[in-house]
Structure 1
Amino acid sequence: MTSQLFYSYTVAAFVVLASALILRRRQAPNGQQPATKPHLLASVPTEQLPKYIQNLLAEIPGCVILQADVAAFQQAVDYSWAQQNREIIPACIVRPRDTQQLSKAVAILKWEHDSRSQTGAPITGFFAIRSGGVNPGLGAATVQDGVVIDLSLFCEVTPAVDGSTVTVGTGAKWIDVYKVLDEKGLIVMGGRNSPVGVGGLTLQGGISFYSPRFGFVCSNALSYEVVLANGSVVTASASVHPELWRVLKGGSNNFGIVTNFTLRSLPFAPLWVGEMVAPAAFQHAKALKAYHDYLDHASSSQPGAFDENAAGPILSFVYIQRIGLQLISLHLVYTKAPEDKKWPVHWKETGFTSLWSFYRSSKVQSHTSAVERLGRTAPAGTRHMQGTTTIRNDAQTMTAAYAIFCQTTTELRHVKGLLFPFTFQAILPGWMNKGYPNVLGLEGCTEPLIIIGFSVTWAKAKDDELIRSTIRHTLEQINAAAAARQSDHPYRFMNYCMEWQRPYEGCGEENLKLMREASQKYDPDGLFQSGRAGGFKLDIVSR
């Protein structure tokens, strides 16, 4: 009975949960944290609100949610995924229904930015842009006592008549996109976990199950509709505003607010999905070797070594404070499911199959089902943070990084509710530059890279600073260990970066130059550099 209970709890509470945490930053059930309480401006008369907020109320009536409307405001605040961001209380939340209303809102924010610029004092961010709201970076898509532009109503999903493209609103969730496309027999390159939103993932890079065939998600956007700093609305494509089109492929929201994306689509086909769970105590070295050897082989010039139907394997070591154990989770996907539904030959021939596991499953399922499974145990509302770095495929560096992770779990083992996945994901040279050119800085890379990601959830606010400082120090230690072996790499997967990280430093001087020139052309007064709170900036000197 004990073994059966352990198996049931582990499979139900870990396999799905760990996989969800691996791919994108998850939380535990709502209700575990005290409700966020609006404050300060709730009782302020409208005429005493800042002038620019009064202007927003006048110009786009029905779109501005004030703290005084407690229920609606609370619901809007709770759209942020991580609890710590729900505790950052804006003055108001602007939820435009269409591009025209968003254009008016941006024009008013620009007026406020210009007014502050005239004083000569440094401008601190007074508005934030939120599409999916999933990134747990502190203040990533919200701002204390400022304005949050909430894009959640930009959620349309419109396939082209010939099925070759799909236009998707920036505020849509990927799971909703896939459900609409299921009915049309289509799929797009997009997020791998259901809570993730379209805007942030697509503008910052994004990895899809189909990346080995088509590259980063950002490199599959054919065009963008963008509201610029002056309030004008433009389309950016390879033939219209091509410099803007290029820098939006990894440049995030530094140039304007994207309202929709036109993405390449392809006919639907079922996926093969395999999962394994194993104890880490006596399997970690074997798992690391299997991962290293797979990347080494897949990036070699041997015939058939690289398979564009094999999504990057995801290997995670997960420490679970409640049971005081560390487990291994392996997640494999093959986008051309075998007719017999058994393990694809590509995965059978890897060292992964030799890992002993107490849970192993494989299933042929729809893209939507695979994404839903990874998000099934990912309700919003707990404290969460992430962080990332990148290393080359060096076995000793992988082992050193794992040892540092183990030391970190020892330091944090007393933190109540700690769930701590430490994840390896691959970027192979066979796909990293497929699709349209981007500004990620991987143009000259000819070797496999490993994205190391941390994703941590915990229960109590009193542990916030400890967790944040410990994870930051852990990443610094891994970087130092990699540098000592000359296996470090400057690229940072922006979708997993925290607010204190500087991903643009790894994009290369030429890409930085392209982005800064585009910023100066489309946002000459720096609205999205100094007026926008949160996100990653281009470090442009104020003009």
Structure 2
Amino acid sequence: MASQIFTSYTIAVFVVLTSILLLRRRQASNGEQPATKPHPLASLPPEKLPNYIQTLLAELPGSVILQTDVAAFQQAVDSSWAQQNREIVPACIVRPCDAKQLGKAVKILKLEYDSRSHGESPVVGFFAVRSGGVNPGLGASMVQDGVVIDLSLLCEVTPAVDGSTVTVGTGAKWIDVYKTLDEKGLVVMGGRSSPVGVGGLTLQGGISFYSPRYGFVCSNAESYEVVLADGSVVTASASVHPELWRVLKGGSNNFGIVTRFTLRSLPSAPLWVGVRFAPAAFQQAKALKVYHDYLEHAGSNQPGGFDENAAGPIMSFVYIGRIGIQLIALHLVYTKVQEDETKVPVHWRETGFNSLWSFYRYSNVQSHTSVVERLGRTAPAGTRHVQGTTTIRNDVQTMTAAYAIFCETTTKLRQVKGLMFPFTFQAILPGWMNKGHPNVLGLEGCTEPLIIVSCSVTWTDPKDDEFVRSTIRSSLEQIEAAAVARKSDHPYRFMNYSMEWQRPYDGCGEENLKLMGETSQKYDPDGLFQRGCAGGFKLP
């Protein structure tokens, strides 16, 4: 009888979870969010706008969107994924149609930057660059009263004749890339969730389902088309501008604006996917131990340890504020389908993950595109969102301490309206972290498994913004302190999950920082992208 009651309870929990996700998606699609606030320039005729904006209008007719064009401006602002970034209102949005037009815009912005540099006050970022616009960091790709360069029209997807590479526009969404390549029987290493854009993920690192086979996404870029600070357009590859090619693999937007990536491609094939939901109440310690033991084995040289077809397991503890419960969500992927598609791949079947009791599980074989679409459904656009990350070594006591801090954080946030709080562990294994072309992420000498620990919080009421953000920041700092105390900390920070207050370049290593600094000085000697460009992470 007790087991029947428990089973009914857990099924009800899953139904509630599904209902909440559907409700959140419906609210987002219905536009139940604050409208963009009025802008002081909205009532100004073009001739009253700042000179550099008037120049942009004259030189780029049809490509500059002003606040006075209410519908187009609102649509462009709402291309940002997080609601709090939709509430940052620029003076105008420039939407270039190709690299040449973008070069004209950069030249105009450089002239404005030079004029401001001769003033008494230091230059503050007055333009931002947006490709996908998914990072929820405040001002990650938006700037108040400045210029947003929107790269969404640069979205081509062009496979090479031999299928070995694909040229992808920086403004494309990964899901659209995959759908286009499906028709060609190809796939590229790229994002794992449908809202994510190409530019930010590829320039900051990026993890793919295929990373165990090929490494970080950034390490699979064969070449880049880049607009430099003087407005010129160059190609960077291993043989042309090789230092620029190297630093763009993790160096973000510090050296220019990338308009196109040429990425390594491979024949597409279906993926095996396994998903489990479990109650956290009585088996969180076991789940942590299972995850630790898996990484210890997969990070070793033992037979059957590392498997390049096994994507890194994603394990989340999800606190649902509306019903005050915590669940474990486990996501497993295997990129080589077995002969019997109905069976769990041997690699996953022989791990401790199978011993975790779950009230809901499914596994099947899907296309790469379908997997990415499914993962993206739990992340509706237009929500208030904050994330943050740190990195620890594979130490079970540190993992336990991090989980305890997560639980304390949920207690602090329990009154926050509409709270959804996934606390996630993801792995970087020594078997793949340095595959592909050399990058500047700083993991060259690492020989042990690392765990990316990330917080990802959504809520509904803007009055909770500062409280949620400061609480998450404090919690991550506590986790870092706990790791330092156990000597299980690591300086690497996964930039794709980092927030504006974090310093991911501190973990890149002295040699990589030196190379990035020298390359920035060579290609952007006046510091346009260091000081004039808002958003992104700047070199120390």
Residues 28 and 378 of structure 1 are in contact (CA less than 8 Å); yes or no, is this contact kept in structure 2?
no
- Structure 2 counterpart of 1:366: 367
Matched, 1:461 2:465: no
Higher relative contact order (CA 8 A, sep 6+): 1
Residues 429 and 445 of structure 1 are in contact (CA less than 8 Å); yes or no, is this contact kept in structure 2?
yes
Shift of 1:530: 0.5
User: CA 1:203–1:469 in 2, change beyond 3 Å: closer, same or farther?
Assistant: same
The 2-side partners of 1:268 and 1:45 are apart by 52
Pick from 14, 39, 52 the counterpart of residue 10 of structure 1.
14
Shift of 1:492: 0.1
Shift of 1:377: 3.6
Residues 30 and 379 of structure 1 are in contact (CA less than 8 Å); yes or no, is this contact kept in structure 2?
no
- Structure 1 counterpart of 2:288: 288
1:115 partner amino acid: S
How many residues in Structure 1 have an aligned counterpart in Structure 2? 533
Alignment of 1:254-265 (within 5 A): 254-265=254-265
- Structure 1 counterpart of 2:248: 248
Shift of 1:45: 1.6
Residues 27 and 384 of structure 1 are in contact (CA less than 8 Å); yes or no, is this contact kept in structure 2?
no
- Structure 1 counterpart of 2:310: 310
Shift of 1:34: 1.9
Per the alignment, in what secondary structure is the counterpart of residue 262 of structure 1? strand
Unpaired stretches in structure 2, ≥5 consecutive residues: none
- Offset from partner CA, 1:450-476 (integer Å, 9 cap, x none): 000000000100000100110000001
- Structure 1 counterpart of 2:218: 218
2:226 partner amino acid: V
Shift of 1:17: 5.5
Alignment of 1:93-104 (within 5 A): 93-104=93-104
The 1-side partners of 2:211 and 2:15 are apart by 28
User: CA 1:418–1:11 in 2, change beyond 3 Å: closer, same or farther?
Assistant: same
Matched, 1:521 2:522: yes
Matched, 1:206 2:210: no
The 2-side partners of 1:533 and 1:4 are apart by 51
RMSD (Å), alpha carbons = 1.8
Alignment of 1:434-445 (within 5 A): 434-445=435-446
Residues 391 and 449 of structure 1 are in contact (CA less than 8 Å); yes or no, is this contact kept in structure 2?
yes
Shift of 1:382: 1.1
- Structure 2 counterpart of 1:346: 347
Per the alignment, in what secondary structure is the counterpart of residue 446 of structure 1? coil
The 2-side partners of 1:45 and 1:52 are apart by 14
- Structure 1 counterpart of 2:189: 189
Residues 32 and 382 of structure 1 are in contact (CA less than 8 Å); yes or no, is this contact kept in structure 2?
no
Shift of 1:36: 1.4
Residues 166 and 262 of structure 1 are in contact (CA less than 8 Å); yes or no, is this contact kept in structure 2?
yes
- Structure 2 counterpart of 1:408: 409
The 1-side partners of 2:209 and 2:432 are apart by 12
The 2-side partners of 1:63 and 1:480 are apart by 48
- Structure 1 counterpart of 2:273: 273
Shift of 1:32: 2.4
Residues 10 and 359 of structure 2 are in contact (CA less than 8 Å); yes or no, is this contact kept in structure 1?
no
Alignment of 1:72-111 (within 5 A): 72-111=72-111
User: CA 1:350–1:215 in 2, change beyond 3 Å: closer, same or farther?
Assistant: same
The 2-side partners of 1:308 and 1:17 are apart by 33
The 2-side partners of 1:17 and 1:443 are apart by 40
Residues 182 and 268 of structure 1 are in contact (CA less than 8 Å); yes or no, is this contact kept in structure 2?
yes
- Offset from partner CA, 1:172-223 (integer Å, 9 cap, x none): 0000000000000001000000010000000000000000000000000000
Residues 64 and 95 of structure 1 are in contact (CA less than 8 Å); yes or no, is this contact kept in structure 2?
yes
What percentage of aligned pairs have identical amino acids? 80
1:335 partner amino acid: T
* Structure 1: 4+ residue segments shifted above 6 A: 1-6
- Structure 2 counterpart of 1:471: 472
The 2-side partners of 1:479 and 1:196 are apart by 27
- Offset from partner CA, 1:231-256 (integer Å, 9 cap, x none): 00000000000000000000001000
1:10 partner amino acid: F
Per the alignment, in what secondary structure is the counterpart of residue 387 of structure 1? strand
- Offset from partner CA, 1:288-328 (integer Å, 9 cap, x none): 00000000000111122100000000000000001100000
The 2-side partners of 1:399 and 1:5 are apart by 27
- Offset from partner CA, 1:113-134 (integer Å, 9 cap, x none): 0011112420000000000000
Normalised by the length of structure 1, the TM-score is 0.96
1:109 partner amino acid: L
Unpaired stretches in structure 1, ≥5 consecutive residues: none
- Structure 2 counterpart of 1:487: 488
- Structure 1 counterpart of 2:539: 538
Residues 251 and 516 of structure 2 are in contact (CA less than 8 Å); yes or no, is this contact kept in structure 1?
yes
Residues 222 and 262 of structure 1 are in contact (CA less than 8 Å); yes or no, is this contact kept in structure 2?
yes
Residues 388 and 455 of structure 2 are in contact (CA less than 8 Å); yes or no, is this contact kept in structure 1?
yes
